[in-house]
Chain A
Amino acid sequence: MRASSKFAMGAVLITVSVGYLMASGIKDTGVYFVTPAELAERVQTDAAFRDVGVRMGARVVTGSIERDVASQTITFEVTDGVQTYPVVYRGLAPDTFTDDADVVVEGRLMADGTFRATTLLAKCGSRYEAEPTA
């Protein structure tokens, strides 16, 4: 066999393995990204969707944050203007987690309608720019 065809086989092998790594990576780690309204809709049409972990992007309802520092639990509400969900998160919140911040919570929706988050990411609403205060 010529070297170039051997190389082609090697190249195909690499491409296939990279492709496999990517496909399996997405299958194993891909998470639905939804807004509260989308989550409500999905759960309504397909009850099994509750058991699928999701990431939900929404905004923190101003004044809803309650911190219990002793048990390191934070409860708050998130909304997209259409649907509002109470969220329970245990752990340390990032500095950028404040009223009205854009947050991404990852976790699942419980039967009682609260969202139990395992991770909490907050984007500074201002994205490194101070929002005009006026």
Chain B
Amino acid sequence: MTILGQLALWLALLVAVWGSVVGIIGGVQGRAELMQSARRTAYALLGIISVASACLLVALLRHDFNVQYVWSYTSSNLPTPYVISAFYGGQSGSLLFWALILAIFAAAAQWLTPKRYDYLMPYVAAVTSMVTLFFVAVVLFASNPFERLPFTPPDGNGLNPQLQNPGMVIHPPMLYLGYVSITVPFAFAVAALITRRLDTGWLHAIRRWTIVSWVFLSIGITLGMWWAYVELGWGGYWAWDPVENASFLPWLTMTAFLHSVMIQEKRGMLKKWNMILIVMSFMLAIFGTFITRSGIISSVHSFAQSSVGYFFLVFLIVSAVALTWLLWTRFPYLTAESQLESMVSREASFLFNNLLLVGMSFSVLWGTMFPILSELVRGTQVTVGPPFFNQVNIPIGLALLALTGIGPLIAWRKASPRNLKRQFASPVVLALVVGAALYAFGLRDFYAGVAFVLGAFVLVTVAQEFVRGVGARHRLHGENYALAFARLVGRNRRRYGGYIVHIGVVIYFVGFAGAAFKKEMEASLKPGESVTMRSAFGYEYIFTHVGISQYEQLNRFVSAASVDVSRGDERLGVMTSEKRQYWDSFRQPTFQPATEAAIRSGLREDVYIVFAGSVDGTEEAVYRFTLNPLVWWIWYGGVVLVIGAVVTMWPGGGPTRASLRRAMVGYQVKLVDEAVAADGG
């Protein structure tokens, strides 16, 4: 099987070279047969890389421990879902997985893109082939999952217990889907640059792709937070670890891109900026993979150091040079068609949103790289931790939250005082009411208070839009409210889907603000002893240590400590936190013991209990109790955000030919109107 996998990789390498070369040559010389051939390589690569991936999967499922990769990451007593997840659990497998997803997206881009963009497709195929080429080369020459051992060990090493969690089965693929799918809009951007066909055509072609990769990134990041929260046992979900930051960076630039393309579509502005953003997003995605893979910055996520880092570094430098050249030579073709007319306009608010997002990503990049930079410049490493990132990002994040409310409602070009009053009077008033109410209830944390007030502001703006839209349909078409709502959203999916995404963002912010009210306490308790804790909501929790039990389970030995939990007079039940020692099939302990936190979740707050160990083998246990307010809002925010994004990109509902013609006529009438108005004024 490994021989077949190996052969498939070599074949993929050759095909990828072919695709890169003929895509460019065919496109430049306009030779149809070469262009066709380049496009077909996308499908061929998908087939070949699937074969290679299947080979690895078969080796894993067959427990072929003669294959080093299988030996390193699995064992014969590992549950099957985790055997499958070991495909991307280790370095070389994860790189092959990257290539596989890329092949899927590249083929899908060729398959799904409408015929009218055919002029871009050979170059798109060339770019995706080049990126595939890079990953296949890394897999073949630096980190090969098909390498065999000189002997066959009786059992494998097993998978790190912290990765034995359902969240870990889906978190990496989601994040990879996000990272990798940025390649598609990036490839279209490069194709547009090469062809000099820089009208809005390529933007229309990638609309859905951009949202697809943004959604996967969002899901991947959120699942990563969830995994860290339930599995790592430190009571938090985000630590500003370099690898977390690496996933956040392209998310920020993609978010900026999603917004700024609207300005280009509507007003023909920001053309250079958009190109830079998409190129940056792609580079940051590769950079993120580089950080994860190279171990250049120490992080809990990084894999063992290897030559893989150098491959990435070379690839990053080469693409940076090539892309800079390409952008530089095409800049003259990217001139704005209109000018910013007023600071109080949608364009300006989107521009500020972009500046803030890019500023945020710059600060995160800076903080992540600071140990290296300071060592280069001053000879001593200076590290910055979560306080730095929080100090910088909380104010920027809140400013962005404010713009989330302003941007979608403020008028294009120049907002009149009437427009401002009509759109923002009630949101501002209601947000202030919310703020006053929270203050009256005793909320004193400044940032959290601002987050809640701005969140309320955004929610009211969105609610107002829905109410007005539904009301208008009800009056004009006589539809009942439910139908009016369905049609309103169904016929303006981008707009109302976007609003739903914004609601999701507000819910995230509420969850983040909850962190300001986290309470934590450590205690060593004998059976029957208890401690009390007061939560931010004013509840009195009583934790009573029940006892410790020890037993065997599946592939591990478990010490479980139980706590009886009461809130005020109400008994909530027994919560059990575990320490697990995993073993291999010879019952030899593998890895360090892992902690399973006991979590009782609620809309208001989570009770989070970690059993840290027993005192000298007695039943006296050391615990950490954490009260985490509003954490669940983050996961709910994620769900709402995904629903909104799915609405925006739901297929069909695009303009039919007739509606397009009507819209064109309408637009012309509008243009004439505006011209007349301008003449008159």
Contacts and interface: CB of A to CB of B under 8 A. Distances in A.
Contacts of B380: 32-34, 38
Given A18-B392, A30-B384, A32-B381, A129 B72 contact: yes
Contacts of B456: none
Given A7-B340, A30-B382, A34-B381, A123 B388 contact: no
Interface in B306-360: 339-343, 345, 348, 351-352, 355-356, 359-360
B160 A130 contact: yes
A14 B349 CA distance: 13
Given A14-B355, A95-B594, A21 B616 contact: no
Contacts of B388: 25-26, 28-30
A3 B348 contact: yes
A118 B622 CA distance: 18
B300 A124 contact: yes
B615 A70 contact: yes
A38 to B, nearest CB: 8
B392 to A, nearest CB: 4
B157 A133 contact: yes
Given A7-B340, A24-B391, A98-B592, A69 B613 contact: yes
20 contacts: A3-B340, A4-B340, A18-B360, A21-B396, A22-B367, A25-B367, A29-B385, A31-B385, A69-B620, A70-B615, A95-B162, A95-B233, A96-B592, A123-B299, A123-B300, A127-B301, A128-B301, A129-B73, A129-B304, A130-B591
Contacts, number: 159
A2 to B, nearest CB: 8
A25 B370 CA distance: 12
Given A3-B343, A69-B622, A123-B300, A129 B90 contact: yes
Interface string A103-134: 01000000000000000000110111110110
B589 to A, nearest CB: 11
A15 interface: yes
B73 to A, nearest CB: 8
A28 B613 contact: no
Given A7-B343, A128-B163, A30 B383 contact: yes
B622 A33 contact: no
B121 interface: no
A28 B387 CA distance: 9
B352 A127 contact: no
Contacts of A32: 380-383
A43 interface: no
Nearest to B614: A69
Contacts of B524: 69-70, 72
Contacts of A81: none
A39 B273 CA distance: 45
B263 to A, nearest CB: 13
Nearest to B414: A3
B382 A26 contact: yes
Q: Is the interface of A mostly helix, strand, loop or mixed?
A: mixed
A15 B443 CA distance: 31
A133 B160 CA distance: 14
Contacts of A67: 613
Nearest to A104: B298
Interface in A11-53: 11, 14-15, 17-18, 21-22, 24-26, 28-34, 38
Contacts of A91: 522
B612 interface: yes
A72 B298 contact: no
A124 B160 contact: yes
B363 interface: yes
B162 A128 contact: yes
B119 interface: no
B447 interface: no
A124 B614 contact: no
A124 B232 CA distance: 12
Interface string B610-651: 101111100010101000000000000000000000000000
B408 interface: no
Given A25-B367, A25-B384, A31-B382, 5 more contacts: A3-B345, A10-B343, A14-B359, A28-B387, A32-B382
Nearest to A71: B524
B295 interface: yes
Given A29-B387, A95-B233, A4 B339 contact: yes
What are the nearest 4 A-B pairs in CB distance? A130-B157, A33-B381, A18-B359, A29-B387
B163 to A, nearest CB: 7
Nearest to A101: B592
Contact of A69 (B304, B348, B389, B616): B616
Contacts of B299: 123
Interface centre among A15, A32, A72 (most CB of B within 10 A): A72
A67 B298 CA distance: 26
Contacts of B610: 92
A78 B327 CA distance: 50
Contact of B303 (A30, A31, A96, A129): A129
B392 A22 contact: yes
Contacts of B363: 18, 21-22, 25
A8 to B, nearest CB: 10
B508 to A, nearest CB: 21
Interface string B598-613: 0000000000001011
B590 interface: yes
A124 to B, nearest CB: 7
Given A14-B355, A34-B381, A70-B524, A127 B304 contact: yes
Nearest to A15: B359
B234 interface: yes
A57 B298 CA distance: 10
Contacts of A30: 370, 374, 382-384, 388
B167 to A, nearest CB: 15
Contacts of B481: none
Nearest to B610: A92
B15 to A, nearest CB: 31
B36 interface: no
A18 B352 CA distance: 13
Nearest to B301: A128
Contacts of A4: 339-340
A69 B615 contact: yes
B385 to A, nearest CB: 6
A3 B392 contact: no
Contact of A95 (B382, B593, B614): B593
Nearest to A42: B380
B362 interface: yes
B378 to A, nearest CB: 10
B382 A92 contact: no
B395 interface: yes
